[in-house]
Amino acid sequence: MSSNAWPNYREMTAEQMLAWGLEESEARQADLRVRTAEGLAAAQANAEARRKLIGASRSAAASMVIDANRHARRSL
């Protein structure tokens, strides 16, 4: 699901939150491949833009990413 196709995070089901968190985690890893100060700034700006698309606070977005990663590890 593309970033702009996600509903507001308050309207997401638990499954959608896990899916968004997993997609966001992968996007963050991809963004962090540029290991410079400019790359970090760009990665932070990209993460902020994606979380704002779903109306999530930094804390809510981070929680969704953490929960998705935990769920993925448990499913292995």
The pLDDT profile of the chain, 76 residues, written as one tens digit per residue, is 554 689 999 999 999 999 999 999 999 999 999 999 999 999 999 999 999 999 999 999 999 999 999 999 998 7
pTM recorded for the entire structure = 0.88
Instruction: Quickly list H helices, the chain.
Output: 14-31, 37-53, 58-74
pLDDT at residue 40, as a whole number: 94
pLDDT at residue 4, as a whole number: 65
Q: Which residues contact 50 (CB under 8 A, 6 or more apart)?
A: 3, 24, 27, 61
